[in-house]
């Protein structure tokens, strides 16, 4: 009886580590950096980590949906850039702040629908479709801003990135609420289950009567809207926008999904894993800054982290396939 109980405990522990290894990695990083830097566990530093996590983690929600359905969106960072620049231009022109925000969100959804159209209707690979819109958005942002930073926004914009409820930044609360809502959507609604089905086997989903093109379009529209909302948080937090806003956010979002265990082949993984992956990245690179690691080396480390996490994902998939074949 005792042996059975011990064996069950070991199996549960192993399952936890295999499923939530990002949590374990974050805890280890926090312990290491708390010993190597006296400032790491200070409230202001931890608060900054969470504030910096908010916009990119919201982008990661959209990227996670795109990956789950079998693909990814490389335009998210530049979508954030051009939508926030558009909102900034409208605000400087005297438009009502809330109307400007709505226009920015609609533009983000439109960009996402453009990616979805090229992929699902025209038939371009998501890599090419989103890469095309990445360049379109980058060029458009340069045109409308003349490559000049824009600052000085109305008080309403501060709400998204600077205001607090007690000691907690509102942007962090928004991030948590978004993850709760979209985690429920991904696992408990027809829309979420269909995306998993498409990512698991697109042909089987099609023959099961699922409108693959429509739901693929919806996934990219959702990702585009979330990227635009992340842009609002970014411009509010920094009190300015520039053509560098959102730079490489799509890379960070994809890396976070891979670190968290969302299968890049599609159809597997929980949305909360993306948040864990972003937290890992932010804690890791915040610690690197505390240790005065050169920013160029940080870019190298980021690439290594992506390569290692994707390698683990591939190896885990191969192991599962072998195990399935043996059991069959």
3-state secondary structure (DSSP) of residue 164: strand
Residue 10 banded pLDDT, cuts 50, 70, 90 = low
3-state secondary structure (DSSP) of residue 266: coil
Is 188 within the bounds of a domain?
A: yes
Is 17 within the bounds of a domain?
A: no
pLDDT in tens, 230-257: 999 999 998 899 999 988 899 899 988 8
- Looking at residue 322, what is its pLDDT? 62
Angle made by CA atoms 20, 270, 131, in degrees to the nearest 5: 115
- Are the C-beta atoms of 119 and 131 separated by less than 8 Å? no
- Looking at residue 198, what is its pLDDT? 95
Q: pTM for the full model?
A: 0.89
Is 4 within the bounds of a domain?
A: no
- Are the C-beta atoms of 118 and 222 separated by less than 8 Å? no
pLDDT in tens, 278-316: 999 999 889 888 888 888 888 888 788 778 877 776 776
Residue 5 banded pLDDT, cuts 50, 70, 90 = low
Give me the domain span that covers residue 84. Answer: 49-279
pLDDT in tens, 84-103: 999 999 999 989 999 999 99
* Residue 6 reports pLDDT greater than 70: no
Q: What whole-number distance in Å separates Cα of residue 74 and Cα of residue 128? A: 9
Is 41 within the bounds of a domain?
A: no
Is 109 within the bounds of a domain?
A: yes
- Are the C-beta atoms of 29 and 283 separated by less than 8 Å? yes
Is 102 within the bounds of a domain?
A: yes
Neighbouring C-beta atoms of residue 325, cutoff 10 Å? 8
Q: Where are the beta strands (DSSP E) in the chain?
A: 150-151, 164-165, 168-169, 240-241
Q: What whole-number distance in Å separates Cα of residue 35 and Cα of residue 37? A: 6
Whose tokens are 């978004």? That residue is 178
Q: Got the DSSP string for 308-324? A: HHHHHHHHHHHHHHHHH
Q: Considering its fold, how many domains does the chain have in total?
A: 1
Q: Got the DSSP string for 15-65? A: HHHHHSHHHHHHHHHHHHHHHH-TTTTSHHHHHHHHHHHHHHHHHHHHHHH
Q: Where are the beta strands (DSSP E) in 194-316?
A: 240-241
Residue 326 banded pLDDT, cuts 50, 70, 90 = low
Residue 81 banded pLDDT, cuts 50, 70, 90 = very high
φ/ψ of residue 268, rounded to 5: -140, 150
Is 7 within the bounds of a domain?
A: no
> What residues form DSSP beta bridges with 241?
150
- Looking at residue 152, what is its pLDDT? 85
Span 43-52, mean pLDDT? 91
* Residue 123 reports pLDDT greater than 60: yes
Is 35 within the bounds of a domain?
A: no
Residue 8 banded pLDDT, cuts 50, 70, 90 = low
Neighbouring C-beta atoms of residue 318, cutoff 10 Å? 10
Residue 53 banded pLDDT, cuts 50, 70, 90 = very high
- Looking at residue 300, what is its pLDDT? 87
- Which is nearest to 69 in space by CA: 200, 261, 259, 203? 200
């Amino acid at each position: 009886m005792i042996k059975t109980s011990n064996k069950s405990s070991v199996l549960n522990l192993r399952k936890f580590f295999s499923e939530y290894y990002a949590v374990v990695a974050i805890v280890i990083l926090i312990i290491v950096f708390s010993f190597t830097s006296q400032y790491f566990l200070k409230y202001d530093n931890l608060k900054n980590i969470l504030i910096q996590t908010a916009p990119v983690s919201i982008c990661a929600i959209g990227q996670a949906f795109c990956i789950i359905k079998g693909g990814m969106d490389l335009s998210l960072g530049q979508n954030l850039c051009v939508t926030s620049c558009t909102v900034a231009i409208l605000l400087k022109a005297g438009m009502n702040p809330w109307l400007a925000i709505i226009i920015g969100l609609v533009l983000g959804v439109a960009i996402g629908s453009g990616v979805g159209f090229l992929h699902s209707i025209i038939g371009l690979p998501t890599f090419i479709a989103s890469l095309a819109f990445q360049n379109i958005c980058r060029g458009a942002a340069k045109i409308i801003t003349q490559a000049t930073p824009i600052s000085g926004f109305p008080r309403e914009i501060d709400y998204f990135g600077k205001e607090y409820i007690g000691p907690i930044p509102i942007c962090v609360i928004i991030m948590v609420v978004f993850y709760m809502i979209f985690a429920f959507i991904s696992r408990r609604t027809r829309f979420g289950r269909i995306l998993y089905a498409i990512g698991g086997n697109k042909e089987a989903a099609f023959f099961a009567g699922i409108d693959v093109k429509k739901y693929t379009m919806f996934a990219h529209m959702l990702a585009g809207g979330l990227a635009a909302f992340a842009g609002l948080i970014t411009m509010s937090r920094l009190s300015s926008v520039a053509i560098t806003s959102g730079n490489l956010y799509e890379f960070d979002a994809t890396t976070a999904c891979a670190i968290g265990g969302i299968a890049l082949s599609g159809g597997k993984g929980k949305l909360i894993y993306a948040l864990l992956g972003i937290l890992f990245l932010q804690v890791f690179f915040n610690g690197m800054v505390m240790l005065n690691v050169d920013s160029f080396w940080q870019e190298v480390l980021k690439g290594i982290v992506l390569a290692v996490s994707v390698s683990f994902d591939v190896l885990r998939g191969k192991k599962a396939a072998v195990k399935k074949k043996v059991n069959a």
